[in-house]
Structure 1
Amino acid sequence: MTEHELDAQGLLCPLPVLKARKRLAGLKSGETLKLIATDPASVIDVPHFCNEQGHELLSHEKAEGRHIFRIRRK
């Protein structure tokens, strides 16, 4: 299955989530999005967004000051 990538490094709240929302809207159900963010608030915003919109947050890892989220579109 194709994994799409969205680099939101350097963007501050709410831009990473807004860009993820727009990108996910263009994906088919079940496709995944890898979101890379540096905004500290993303650790709160992204899980909340997924919960509200019904998308599945598959994973979250932190590496080298970046947060890497994998989201499966509902």
Structure 2
Amino acid sequence: MDSPTDIAPDLVIDATGLACPMPLLKAKQGLNSLASGQILELRATDAGAERDIPAFCAISGHRLLQSEARDSVFSYWLQKR
């Protein structure tokens, strides 16, 4: 799998400081604005995102390319189906 620095997102959403369910809602909105195959990078500080984002991808068919936790910030790279 690519390292995060190798993935060039088409859209970056900073949802740091937002409580659940806002990071997930922001991700959904961002993905809705992208074309199929484009990549969204989501940054969140809410620990619920660790559970919500992978589950959302599994249900919706979007692809979770990479995830990373660094300094209490969770980053996710999602590819729109």
1:69 aligns with 2:44: no
Aligned positions of 1:49-60 closer than 5 A? 49-60=56-67
Q: Which residue of 1 aligns with 2:16?
A: 9
Q: Which residue of 1 aligns with 2:43?
A: 36
**Greater strand proportion:** 1
Superposition misfits of 4+ residues, deviation over 2 angstroms: none
How far did 1:46 drift?
Answer: 0.4
How far did 1:3 drift?
Answer: 2.4
RMSD: 1.1
Local SS of the residue matching 2:29: helix
Query: Which TM-score applies when normalising by structure 2?
Result: 0.87
How far did 1:37 drift?
Answer: 0.3
Pair 1:59–1:26, CA change in 2 (3 A)? same
- In structure 2, runs of 5+ residues without a counterpart are 1-7
Q: Which residue of 2 aligns with 1:47?
A: 54
- Write the letter of the residue equivalent to 2:28: R
- Percent sequence identity over aligned pairs: 38
- In structure 1, runs of 5+ residues without a counterpart are none
